[in-house]
Amino acid sequence: MSGLNRPVILALLLAAPLVQAQGTPVPEAGRVSYLSGTMYVQTADNKTRILARNSAIYTGDVITTEKSTVARLEFGDGSTLALKPRSQVKIDAFAFDQAKPENDSLLYRLVKGGLRAVTGLIGKRNREAYRASTVTATIGIRGTRFGMLLCDENEKDDPACIKALKDAEGREAGEPALVFDVEEGSIEVKNDAGSKVFEVGDAGVVSSSKSAPAALPENPGLDNALPSSTAARPGPGGMGGSTGLGSDADASCTVQ
Protein backbone atom coordinates (compact mmCIF):
# COMPACT_ATOMS: atom_id res chain seq x y z
CA MET A 1 0.00 0.00 0.00
CA SER A 2 2.95 2.30 0.64
CA GLY A 3 3.70 2.41 -3.09
CA LEU A 4 0.33 4.00 -3.89
CA ASN A 5 -0.42 7.67 -3.41
CA ARG A 6 -3.68 8.86 -1.86
CA PRO A 7 -5.46 9.88 -5.12
CA VAL A 8 -4.83 6.43 -6.59
CA ILE A 9 -6.14 4.72 -3.44
CA LEU A 10 -9.26 6.89 -3.50
CA ALA A 11 -9.89 6.08 -7.16
CA LEU A 12 -9.63 2.37 -6.45
CA LEU A 13 -12.10 2.63 -3.56
CA LEU A 14 -14.63 4.55 -5.67
CA ALA A 15 -14.36 2.01 -8.48
CA ALA A 16 -14.88 -0.97 -6.20
CA PRO A 17 -18.32 -2.65 -6.24
CA LEU A 18 -20.56 -2.38 -3.20
CA VAL A 19 -20.00 -5.22 -0.77
CA GLN A 20 -22.41 -6.71 1.75
CA ALA A 21 -21.39 -7.12 5.39
CA GLN A 22 -20.46 -10.74 4.80
CA GLY A 23 -18.11 -9.74 1.96
CA THR A 24 -20.35 -10.74 -0.96
CA PRO A 25 -20.53 -8.17 -3.81
CA VAL A 26 -23.97 -6.55 -4.14
CA PRO A 27 -25.34 -7.15 -7.66
CA GLU A 28 -26.09 -4.06 -9.71
CA ALA A 29 -29.70 -3.33 -10.57
CA GLY A 30 -28.68 -1.12 -13.47
CA ARG A 31 -26.82 1.98 -14.61
CA VAL A 32 -27.36 5.67 -15.29
CA SER A 33 -27.54 5.69 -19.11
CA TYR A 34 -28.21 9.43 -19.54
CA LEU A 35 -27.72 12.40 -17.24
CA SER A 36 -28.03 16.15 -17.74
CA GLY A 37 -27.62 18.01 -14.46
CA THR A 38 -27.05 16.88 -10.88
CA MET A 39 -28.46 13.66 -9.47
CA TYR A 40 -27.61 11.94 -6.20
CA VAL A 41 -28.45 8.73 -4.39
CA GLN A 42 -29.01 7.75 -0.79
CA THR A 43 -27.95 4.13 -0.46
CA ALA A 44 -29.52 1.41 1.64
CA ASP A 45 -26.84 1.98 4.32
CA ASN A 46 -27.70 5.73 4.47
CA LYS A 47 -24.70 6.98 2.51
CA THR A 48 -25.11 9.74 -0.06
CA ARG A 49 -23.17 10.03 -3.29
CA ILE A 50 -23.37 12.01 -6.51
CA LEU A 51 -24.24 9.99 -9.60
CA ALA A 52 -22.67 10.37 -13.03
CA ARG A 53 -23.39 8.82 -16.38
CA ASN A 54 -22.68 5.07 -16.20
CA SER A 55 -22.86 5.07 -12.37
CA ALA A 56 -24.22 1.82 -10.98
CA ILE A 57 -27.56 1.71 -9.14
CA TYR A 58 -28.61 -0.91 -6.59
CA THR A 59 -31.65 -2.25 -4.78
CA GLY A 60 -32.47 0.04 -1.88
CA ASP A 61 -31.17 3.18 -3.60
CA VAL A 62 -33.23 6.38 -3.31
CA ILE A 63 -32.39 8.47 -6.39
CA THR A 64 -33.13 12.21 -6.55
CA THR A 65 -32.88 14.66 -9.46
CA GLU A 66 -32.27 18.36 -8.89
CA LYS A 67 -34.53 21.16 -10.22
CA SER A 68 -33.05 21.21 -13.75
CA THR A 69 -31.91 17.59 -14.06
CA VAL A 70 -33.15 15.05 -16.58
CA ALA A 71 -31.87 11.48 -16.36
CA ARG A 72 -32.49 7.94 -17.47
CA LEU A 73 -31.87 4.74 -15.52
CA GLU A 74 -31.45 1.47 -17.42
CA PHE A 75 -31.88 -1.85 -15.63
CA GLY A 76 -30.26 -5.19 -16.33
CA ASP A 77 -33.30 -6.52 -18.24
CA GLY A 78 -33.50 -3.47 -20.53
CA SER A 79 -36.22 -1.65 -18.56
CA THR A 80 -35.74 2.13 -18.35
CA LEU A 81 -36.97 5.01 -16.21
CA ALA A 82 -36.63 8.56 -17.54
CA LEU A 83 -36.81 10.98 -14.60
CA LYS A 84 -38.02 14.57 -14.75
CA PRO A 85 -36.49 17.38 -12.68
CA ARG A 86 -37.22 17.40 -8.92
CA SER A 87 -38.09 13.73 -8.86
CA GLN A 88 -37.31 10.96 -6.42
CA VAL A 89 -37.59 7.22 -6.96
CA LYS A 90 -36.69 4.31 -4.69
CA ILE A 91 -35.55 0.99 -6.14
CA ASP A 92 -37.31 -1.52 -3.88
CA ALA A 93 -36.22 -4.72 -5.65
CA PHE A 94 -34.50 -5.95 -8.77
CA ALA A 95 -33.68 -9.50 -9.81
CA PHE A 96 -33.10 -10.83 -13.31
CA ASP A 97 -31.67 -14.13 -14.45
CA GLN A 98 -32.09 -15.00 -18.13
CA ALA A 99 -32.55 -18.68 -17.22
CA LYS A 100 -34.97 -18.17 -14.30
CA PRO A 101 -37.92 -15.93 -15.19
CA GLU A 102 -39.79 -17.19 -12.12
CA ASN A 103 -37.31 -15.20 -9.98
CA ASP A 104 -37.75 -11.91 -11.85
CA SER A 105 -38.47 -8.76 -9.88
CA LEU A 106 -38.53 -5.02 -10.62
CA LEU A 107 -40.28 -2.99 -7.95
CA TYR A 108 -39.85 0.76 -7.56
CA ARG A 109 -41.61 3.62 -5.84
CA LEU A 110 -42.12 7.14 -7.20
CA VAL A 111 -41.84 9.38 -4.13
CA LYS A 112 -42.16 12.72 -5.90
CA GLY A 113 -42.00 14.22 -9.38
CA GLY A 114 -42.57 12.13 -12.48
CA LEU A 115 -41.12 9.61 -14.91
CA ARG A 116 -41.62 7.71 -18.12
CA ALA A 117 -41.10 3.97 -18.02
CA VAL A 118 -40.31 1.38 -20.67
CA THR A 119 -40.58 -2.22 -19.57
CA GLY A 120 -37.86 -4.68 -20.56
CA LEU A 121 -37.69 -8.47 -20.53
CA ILE A 122 -39.16 -8.74 -17.03
CA GLY A 123 -42.32 -6.97 -18.19
CA LYS A 124 -42.59 -9.24 -21.22
CA ARG A 125 -42.04 -12.62 -19.61
CA ASN A 126 -43.23 -12.15 -16.01
CA ARG A 127 -45.67 -9.24 -15.81
CA GLU A 128 -46.59 -9.88 -12.21
CA ALA A 129 -42.96 -9.27 -11.24
CA TYR A 130 -43.02 -5.60 -12.37
CA ARG A 131 -44.71 -2.98 -10.22
CA ALA A 132 -44.52 0.81 -9.90
CA SER A 133 -46.00 2.26 -6.73
CA THR A 134 -46.80 5.63 -5.18
CA VAL A 135 -48.48 6.70 -1.95
CA THR A 136 -51.70 7.11 -3.98
CA ALA A 137 -51.88 4.00 -6.17
CA THR A 138 -49.94 1.10 -7.68
CA ILE A 139 -49.36 0.42 -11.39
CA GLY A 140 -49.03 -3.08 -12.80
CA ILE A 141 -48.16 -3.65 -16.44
CA ARG A 142 -48.71 -5.88 -19.44
CA GLY A 143 -45.54 -5.02 -21.36
CA THR A 144 -45.71 -1.30 -22.04
CA ARG A 145 -44.55 2.32 -22.02
CA PHE A 146 -46.27 4.67 -19.62
CA GLY A 147 -45.84 7.95 -17.80
CA MET A 148 -46.70 8.98 -14.25
CA LEU A 149 -46.69 12.34 -12.48
CA LEU A 150 -47.36 13.05 -8.81
CA CYS A 151 -49.24 16.33 -8.37
CA ASP A 152 -48.04 17.59 -4.99
CA GLU A 153 -46.96 21.01 -3.72
CA ASN A 154 -43.93 21.01 -6.03
CA GLU A 155 -45.98 20.19 -9.14
CA LYS A 156 -49.29 21.89 -8.36
CA ASP A 157 -48.67 24.61 -10.96
CA ASP A 158 -47.76 22.17 -13.73
CA PRO A 159 -50.32 22.60 -16.57
CA ALA A 160 -50.84 18.83 -16.73
CA CYS A 161 -51.75 18.73 -13.03
CA ILE A 162 -54.03 21.76 -13.27
CA LYS A 163 -55.90 20.30 -16.23
CA ALA A 164 -56.15 16.76 -14.84
CA LEU A 165 -57.41 17.91 -11.44
CA LYS A 166 -59.78 20.64 -12.60
CA ASP A 167 -62.85 18.48 -12.10
CA ALA A 168 -61.31 15.76 -9.94
CA GLU A 169 -63.22 14.64 -6.87
CA GLY A 170 -62.03 13.05 -3.66
CA ARG A 171 -58.87 15.10 -3.12
CA GLU A 172 -57.22 14.59 0.28
CA ALA A 173 -55.33 17.48 1.89
CA GLY A 174 -51.60 16.92 1.85
CA GLU A 175 -51.79 13.83 -0.38
CA PRO A 176 -50.56 13.95 -4.00
CA ALA A 177 -52.79 13.00 -6.90
CA LEU A 178 -51.37 10.62 -9.52
CA VAL A 179 -51.77 11.45 -13.23
CA PHE A 180 -50.68 8.93 -15.87
CA ASP A 181 -50.87 7.97 -19.53
CA VAL A 182 -50.17 4.89 -21.67
CA GLU A 183 -47.97 5.11 -24.76
CA GLU A 184 -47.90 1.41 -25.56
CA GLY A 185 -49.50 -1.75 -24.18
CA SER A 186 -51.72 -1.39 -21.12
CA ILE A 187 -51.51 -0.85 -17.37
CA GLU A 188 -53.67 -1.70 -14.37
CA VAL A 189 -53.93 1.07 -11.79
CA LYS A 190 -55.26 0.13 -8.37
CA ASN A 191 -55.57 1.15 -4.75
CA ASP A 192 -57.90 0.27 -1.87
CA ALA A 193 -60.76 2.15 -3.58
CA GLY A 194 -60.69 0.13 -6.81
CA SER A 195 -58.79 -0.81 -9.95
CA LYS A 196 -59.02 -0.05 -13.65
CA VAL A 197 -57.20 -1.11 -16.82
CA PHE A 198 -55.98 1.61 -19.17
CA GLU A 199 -55.06 0.90 -22.79
CA VAL A 200 -52.71 2.58 -25.25
CA GLY A 201 -53.64 6.24 -25.75
CA ASP A 202 -55.55 6.45 -22.46
CA ALA A 203 -54.85 8.89 -19.65
CA GLY A 204 -56.18 8.84 -16.11
CA VAL A 205 -56.01 10.23 -12.61
CA VAL A 206 -56.16 8.95 -9.04
CA SER A 207 -57.16 11.89 -6.85
CA SER A 208 -56.11 10.24 -3.59
CA SER A 209 -55.50 6.85 -2.01
CA LYS A 210 -59.21 6.82 -1.10
CA SER A 211 -60.40 7.50 -4.67
CA ALA A 212 -60.64 4.90 -7.41
CA PRO A 213 -58.67 5.38 -10.65
CA ALA A 214 -60.64 7.39 -13.23
CA ALA A 215 -60.20 7.93 -16.96
CA LEU A 216 -59.57 11.42 -18.35
CA PRO A 217 -61.33 12.50 -21.56
CA GLU A 218 -57.98 13.53 -23.06
CA ASN A 219 -54.31 13.58 -22.20
CA PRO A 220 -53.77 16.58 -19.89
CA GLY A 221 -50.34 17.30 -21.37
CA LEU A 222 -48.03 14.69 -19.88
CA ASP A 223 -46.00 14.76 -23.12
CA ASN A 224 -44.83 18.22 -22.08
CA ALA A 225 -44.62 17.52 -18.36
CA LEU A 226 -42.48 14.36 -18.53
CA PRO A 227 -39.22 13.47 -20.28
CA SER A 228 -39.35 11.22 -23.30
CA SER A 229 -38.68 7.56 -22.58
CA THR A 230 -35.93 7.53 -25.25
CA ALA A 231 -33.43 9.93 -26.77
CA ALA A 232 -34.91 9.34 -30.21
CA ARG A 233 -37.22 12.35 -30.06
CA PRO A 234 -34.80 15.29 -30.12
CA GLY A 235 -35.47 18.80 -28.90
CA PRO A 236 -34.46 21.40 -26.35
CA GLY A 237 -34.80 21.05 -22.61
CA GLY A 238 -35.00 17.28 -22.37
CA MET A 239 -38.76 17.12 -21.86
CA GLY A 240 -41.41 15.05 -23.58
CA GLY A 241 -43.56 15.32 -26.69
CA SER A 242 -41.51 16.83 -29.50
CA THR A 243 -38.56 17.08 -27.12
CA GLY A 244 -36.58 14.03 -26.05
CA LEU A 245 -33.96 13.46 -23.43
CA GLY A 246 -31.84 16.04 -25.19
CA SER A 247 -30.83 16.42 -28.82
CA ASP A 248 -27.17 16.14 -27.82
CA ALA A 249 -27.60 12.68 -26.32
CA ASP A 250 -25.24 10.03 -27.67
CA ALA A 251 -26.60 7.33 -29.94
CA SER A 252 -25.69 4.88 -27.19
CA CYS A 253 -28.34 6.50 -25.00
CA THR A 254 -31.16 5.58 -27.34
CA VAL A 255 -33.32 2.72 -26.12
CA GLN A 256 -34.76 0.66 -28.94
pLDDT score of 10: 39
- Separation in Å, CA 130 to CA 99, 125, 204: 17, 10, 20
Query: Model confidence over 26-72: pLDDT tens digits?
Result: 789 999 999 999 999 999 899 999 999 999 999 999 999 999 999 99
Spatial separation of the C-alpha atoms in residues 251 and 174, rounded to whole Å? 42
Predicted model pTM: 0.81
* Cα dihedral 182→188→189→195 (10° resolution): 140
Q: What is the mean pLDDT of the chain?
A: 83
Please compute the mean of the pLDDT values over residues 221-242 and round it to a whole number.
60
* CATH 3.40.50.10860 for the 13-242 domain, yes or no: no
Q: What is the arithmetic mean of pLDDT over 106-124?
A: 95
**E strands in 114-213:** 114-118, 130-133, 138-141, 145-151, 177-184, 186-191, 194-199, 203-206
* DSSP assignment string, 80-119: EEEEPTT-EEEEEEEE--TT-GGG-EEEEEEEESEEEEE-
Residue type, 215: A
Of 23-37, 65-79, 204-218, 226-240, the least confident: 226-240
How far apart CA 185 and CA 142 sit, in angstroms, is: 6
146 closest CA partner among 243, 223, 211: 223
